[in-house]
Amino acid sequence: MIKFSLVCDSGHSFESWFANGAAYDQQAEGGFVHCPICGSARVTKAIMAPAIASHLGRGFETRAAESRVIEGEIIPPQPAGTNALPPALLDEQQHAVRAMIGAMRAKILTDTIDVGKDFPEEARKMHEGESPERPIRGEATVEEAHALIEDGIKIMAVPAAPDELN
């Protein structure tokens, strides 16, 4: 089952469960998905974008999560093969964790478009369908980040660089 956040042509947002993405496509194309508020069958997937924010010196650095966030989960991208850390001395474990965080951070920075201080506005536009969905990162103040979260826009922290963890 997949939960999609949907929005109708009047801008009502709501959530609905589907067996899978193809089931949603079929039902939406057939006009079987209705807005529970106004009954409109013209509904589209809302973009639950951004999902990473962390304390870096200048505030939150945030990015849009990958498309699986649309399914209602926040899963930070993880490098392959990091599910289980091998048994090791504490120092080695710490080293492995730092390497993993560093790799995750590098992947985020590589895979996302930096929109800088436009992040809150861009995230909201993507959420409302005014901008195309794409992975973005940028900066937001704590207040802006909270406002995005209150509006149902999921954001996540970009992990701090390992050097900043001391």
For Zn ion, the binding residues (CB under 5 A) are: 8, 10, 12, 35, 37-38, 40
CA–CA gap between residue 17 and residue 69 (Å, rounded): 14
Question: Minimum CB separation from Zn ion for residue 35, in Å?
Answer: 3
In this complex, which beta carbon is closest to Zn ion, that of residue 24 or of residue 60? Answer: 24
Taking the complex as a whole, the smallest distance from the CB of residue 45 to Zn ion amounts, in Å, to 14
* Cβ 129 to Zn ion shortest distance, Å: 14
12 versus 125: smaller Cβ distance to Zn ion: 12
Give min distance, CB of 148 to Zn ion, in A.
22
Tell how far CA 146 is from the center of its chain.
14
Pick between residue 14 and residue 54 the one whose CB is nearest to Zn ion: 14
Q: Which is closer to Zn ion, CB of 15 or CB of 143?
A: 15
- Beta-bridge partner residues of 5: 15
- In the complex, minimum distance from the CB of residue 69 to Zn ion, in angstroms, rounded to a whole number: 23
The C-alpha torsion from 54 through 58 and 64 to 68, rounded to 10°, is: -10
- DSSP count for the chain of H helices, then E strands: 4, 8
Residue 31, Ramachandran bin (φ over 0: left; ψ between -120 and 50: alpha; else beta): left
Residues 6 or more apart whose CB falls under 8 angstroms from that of 1 comprise: 17, 18, 19, 20
8 or 65, CB closer to Zn ion?
Answer: 8
